[in-house]
Structure 1
Amino acid sequence: MTLKVELKPGERIVIGRSVVTNGQIRTSLLIDGQEPVLRERDILKETDADTPAKRIAYVVQMMYLAGSADTLLPAFTSLTRDLMKAAPSSASIVDQMTNCVLTGQLYKAFREARKLIAHEASIFDHASRGAGLRADGADDGESA
């Protein structure tokens, strides 16, 4: 199946183990083959993997780019186990992602990892809003 990718000027894309940088004009690429492909905007840098879900996503991304889960499976298992203890509400996403990893559907696992990051962000957002509530449930900025 052919993948069509539109690149903006200067945008980069990873194809297999190569990084391709677009020139000064918008370009369309048609990519055939089985090599992993990630757009620059979808790549999670190691330095940005600063939360449990982002660390899992980074490991899954590296599995996808390597084309195999074998060497990173122990790290993935450990990270997901820790996350499940801290945030059991993540179970359905983690289960789906784990299924994808174990069946070799690594790009789908990466997409699930992105959902996990969004779920984690909603947990953090909820927790930060909850910290600002008074005992009567009103926000600190409201009058009772």
Structure 2
Amino acid sequence: MPLRVELKPFERIVIGDSVIINSNTRARFIVEGDAPILRERDTVTAETADTPAKRLYFCIQTMYLKNDAIRHRASYLACMNELRTTMPGTAQLAEAVDRHVAAGALYKALKEIRALIQCEGPAMAPDEVVP
């Protein structure tokens, strides 16, 4: 199913391995295919992954954008263990993330982790950074 995307002026979007930067006007387009897509505001960089939930988000984001969950499995397990140890009150959210990853629904896992990031504090949410 095609995805409609509307970008604000100078907004960025990651499609697969490419970063697309909009010009100085609002733009609308449709993306067809199975390429992984993330808006700039929904990305975290290695430098900004400074909390357990953000590190888990960055790991799954990498798995999603590179379409290579197997290669990052050990890193994912380490991040998930760190999260469970440091944030035991978020066990239900962590389990939901784990179920999505096991099912290969990495974008859904990213959506769940955004709630975990909010549990760490509102200043910790992913915001306008590019991988």
**TM-score, normalisation: structure 1:** 0.80
* Contact 2:52–2:86 (8 Å) recurs in 1: no
Q: State the match for 1:38 in structure 2.
A: 38
Structure 2 CA distance for aligned equivalents of residues 103 and 71 of structure 1: 16
Structure 2 stretches of 5 or more lacking a match? 125-131
Q: State the match for 2:70 in structure 1.
A: 70
Q: State the match for 1:60 in structure 2.
A: 60
Letter in 2 for 1:8: K
Q: Sequence identity, in percent? A: 41
Structure 2 CA distance for aligned equivalents of residues 20 and 52 of structure 1: 28
Q: Offset at 1:33?
A: 0.7
**What is the CA deviation profile of residues 57-85 of structure 1, one whole-angstrom value per residue up to 9, with x for unaligned ones?**
11011111011311111111112112212
Structure 1 stretches of 5 or more lacking a match? 125-144
Structure 2 CA distance for aligned equivalents of residues 68 and 103 of structure 1: 14
In the alignment, does 2:50 pair up with 1:50? yes
**TM-score, normalisation: structure 2:** 0.88
The root-mean-square deviation of aligned C-alpha atoms, in Å, is 1.5
* Contact 1:9–1:25 (8 Å) recurs in 2: yes
Letter in 1 for 2:64: Y
Structure 2 CA distance for aligned equivalents of residues 34 and 40 of structure 1: 19
In the alignment, does 2:86 pair up with 1:99? no
Find the structure with the greater CA-based Rg.
1
Describe the SS at the equivalent of 2:121. Answer: helix
**Relative contact order (C-alpha < 8 Å, sep 6+): which is higher?**
2
Structure 1 CA distance for aligned equivalents of residues 17 and 85 of structure 2: 35
Q: Following superposition, which runs of at least 4 residues in structure 1 exceed 2 angstroms of deviation?
A: none
Structure 2 CA distance for aligned equivalents of residues 68 and 93 of structure 1: 23
* Contact 1:68–1:104 (8 Å) recurs in 2: no
Alignment of 1:1-144 (within 5 A): 1-121=1-121
* Contact 2:11–2:21 (8 Å) recurs in 1: yes
* Contact 2:12–2:39 (8 Å) recurs in 1: yes
* Number of equivalences: 123
